[in-house]
Structure 1
Amino acid sequence: MDVAVICEISREETKMNKYYVVAYKEVNFGDDLLMDTLFCRYPEAEFVMTAPGCYRKIFNQYGNLKIICRDSFIYKIFNKLVSSYSVIMHRDYPKCLEDIIINSFKRIIYIGGSIFIEKEDAHQVSYERKWWKKAIDGDKKVYILDANFGPFRSASYTNAMQSVFKKCQDVCFRDQYSFHMFSHIKTVRYGNDIAFLTKTCKRTKNVSDKYVFVSVVYPANNFAADLNVHNEYIRKMAEMHKSAQKYGLGIKYVAFCKFENDDKTLDEIKNVIGDSDTAEYIVYDGNIEEIKQMVTDSVGVISARFHGMVLSSVQNRPTFYIAYSTKGINVIQDNHLDINYIRLKDIKDIDSDRIIASMVHDQGKLLLKEEIYKSANEQFIILDKENRNTNHISKII
């Protein structure tokens, strides 16, 4: 779909169940998993989003999704015109074509994680405030799902977003910390992360090569100011390979998001390990089911990615979490999950042998309570009512 059909989509938007979806669309496994759950849950609704052309393949099974291809030639031309006009007129908003497209819709779903991070750049702060002001303008309905709040530095940012939340149709945070900050607002609710509703996979019978699944991040990218932390992280992840070999296990190192340089982490780990038949390096390319099956068939999961930790919990895999922010720790504590974790800044304290040994001996111990699935369904309670969806009671099987 190209820009030529945008007007047609906008004219059709009078239907009760048509939504524009705002999300992180950079082929990131976690965010793709959230969108996949949304599209699957409401087959009778219609969703529209602007995204790279590869998303037509990622979500090709959904006839209820229309994708405006942002890397098409026509889109790029119009986008350049909008951004150039913004610069010439010294305006922060709109700064891209998607801003204009979003404004043509009356129902907007904003889904996915760390949405509310206070930026340091003054122009970016100004743009975001104008974006939200326009999004909640008039009779628009805005639904914010699966979000957490922060990091933030100022009361002015918190107050500004508080004003936004009051005008939204629905705001559902995925952690208690964020929820309690704004629980006095009637539109604000709490529900567990949407990824807890992921359909479980059956373990492949007679897996010949047993392995540990490791989802990585690239700390030097933005998770750690200290380069020493980055280097120590690479060293420790490579060390996991030696520990796994002691138990006759291989390791699958998996990059969830190439756009965020996770693949560079794989290269650096490989340089430390060298050639090995028991180390495999995989970059997520949009095949959601492939990653889910890898997690299910693993002996255990070491995850620096938030949704790697959630997915391994759903698939009942022994899990060790490396937290680059508090969002994962909050979810672990909110749900009393039996998951050991360490903060990324303390990565030097990891005992690789102990972690692998624990996974080998703790098979099948992590069982999620039914309340966790019920709470995750709370994320959709408003959309369920709007779409008369009564088919999702607890866990999706």
Structure 2
Amino acid sequence: MKSIMIHAYTKLNLGDDLFIKVLCERYPDTRFILPARKEYKQCLAQLPNLTVYPIESIWVRGVRKLLKKWNDVDFQKLLLKRLALRCDGVVQIGGSMYMQGEGWKRDYAWKLDVFDTSKPFYVLGANFGPYTDDQFYQKYRELFSTYTDICFRDEYSHELYKDLGNVRLAPDIIFQHPQQDHPGTGKPVVFSVIKPSARDSLKGLDTMYYNKIKDIAVAFIQEGHEVKLMSFCEYEGDEEAARAILSLIPQQYADRVSLYFYKTNLEEAVSLLASSSMIIATRFHAMILGWVFGKPVFPIAYSDKTIHVMNDAHFTGTYADLKTMESLEPESVVRSFDTNRLNVTVLARQAEKHFEKLDNYLGKSKNAKEAVAITPAVFARRGHES
């Protein structure tokens, strides 16, 4: 049995946690090692082939005290390096894993030091950017050339590196998520919300965004709907945002609004989206899951990655850009209830291509479906409905 280390964003973010689940379920005969906070033992407890390596366990803290000459960052890097060396390869799975921030040179050096690129290294489901420095692009070109396989989830990122022989393209991995049917009435309109100022590019937009979401929520309530404000990630400020928006709801409508916070209850959170009547999706994977579940989705794009994927998927419904949504009419969002669906049948099959090369290394899952070949031309011809 091969042993694979998972490199992922482990801050209890709903979308990223789904990536890990999909990966482990696809390869039941592979042992996966996930360095993460201890809560992941509960979050992903249903995955028998996953071992969560708690990077803040009691013994780790004890050893750190004995080795006082190392700071926390150096000690964690040492532990991860030893873990990676003990495994047969590394799978990095996640979306926005290559964004240029102030500390990108430090992060780049960290990757070079921790991961032995003489072993298989797979990048699945990522997009590249945003970036502003050509050196950032060029340094990752050097690093990517040493990787076994890179499968981007958007055409923009693919175009940047398509001349490298190990770079491929497929739609977002979560398009493969099984569809769920939740019949019944009284389904809420779910708003996935964020704290804009948690991102450098959206500083100063909290008040505008919160007030606009409040206005849209009131418009839906006035049409007879229940509203649920949903947090995907406490660490990134979603819960703070949801509470702030709730506090703005006029008192006469307050009993029609409730909160839902994703913690470690992955299946329950996904079921909430599947049982909604519509999704107002600021979170990227609220948009993807809404399409998968056949819901009308009104995306609020907070970054270019959302725009790129909407374009790739030929989504023709209405949407808003968070930076310019101050002029958005709430009634136009309500009207999209009857139009903003997307047929993802072809996208779901194409999304399997992320695992094409890893299938060759680990052995294809018995339950994996055959996927159609992906080229940018095929990517542009998928069926859609608005």
- Which of 212, 215, 220 is residue 244 of structure 1 equivalent to? 220
* Per-residue Cα deviation, 1:35-90 (whole angstroms, up to 9, x for no partner): 11111111111100111111111111111011112232112333566784259xxx
Q: Is the 8 A contact 2:21 2:47 kept in 1?
A: no
Aligned counterparts, 1:1-397, within 5 A:
15=1, 17-79=2-64, 84-85=69-70, 95=77, 97-121=79-103, 125-132=105-112, 134-137=114-117, 139-203=118-182, 205-207=183-185, 209-222=186-199, 224-227=201-204, 229-273=205-249, 275=251, 276-359=254-337, 361-362=338-339, 366-389=341-364, 391-393=367-369
Q: Is the 8 A contact 1:79 1:96 kept in 2?
A: no
Other-structure match for 2:376: none
Q: Is the 8 A contact 2:99 2:130 kept in 1?
A: yes
CA distance in structure 1 between the aligned counterparts of 2:18 and 2:9, rounded to whole angstroms: 11
CA distance in structure 2 between the aligned counterparts of 1:280 and 1:246, rounded to whole angstroms: 16
Supply the AA of the counterpart residue of 1:115: M
Q: Is the 8 A contact 2:152 2:167 kept in 1?
A: yes
How many angstroms does 1:103 deviate by? Answer: 3.7
How many angstroms does 1:242 deviate by? Answer: 1.4
Identical-residue share of aligned pairs (%)? 27
* Per-residue Cα deviation, 1:93-121 (whole angstroms, up to 9, x for no partner): 97453344234334001110111122223
Q: Is the 8 A contact 1:24 1:31 kept in 2?
A: yes
How many angstroms does 1:256 deviate by? Answer: 0.2
Other-structure match for 1:10: none
How many angstroms does 1:172 deviate by? Answer: 0.6
* Per-residue Cα deviation, 1:144-183 (whole angstroms, up to 9, x for no partner): 0100101122222211111111111110100000001100
SS in 2 for 1:150: coil
CA distance in structure 2 between the aligned counterparts of 1:356 and 1:242, rounded to whole angstroms: 10
Q: Is the 8 A contact 1:39 1:62 kept in 2?
A: yes
CA distance in structure 2 between the aligned counterparts of 1:222 and 1:373, rounded to whole angstroms: 30
Q: Is the 8 A contact 2:318 2:336 kept in 1?
A: no
Structure 2: segments with no counterpart, 5+ residues? 372-386
Supply the AA of the counterpart residue of 1:108: V
SS in 2 for 1:259: coil
How many angstroms does 1:220 deviate by? Answer: 1.5
CA distance in structure 2 between the aligned counterparts of 1:272 and 1:281, rounded to whole angstroms: 13
TM-score, reference length from structure 1? 0.87
SS in 1 for 2:96: strand
Other-structure match for 1:6: none
SS in 2 for 1:340: coil
Q: Decide whether aligned partners of structure 1 residues 300 and 187 sit closer, same or farther in structure 2, where only a CA change above 3 A counts.
A: same
Q: Is the 8 A contact 1:21 1:48 kept in 2?
A: yes
Q: Which region of structure 1 is more displaced relative to structure 2, 39-48 or 291-300?
A: 291-300
TM-score, reference length from structure 2? 0.89
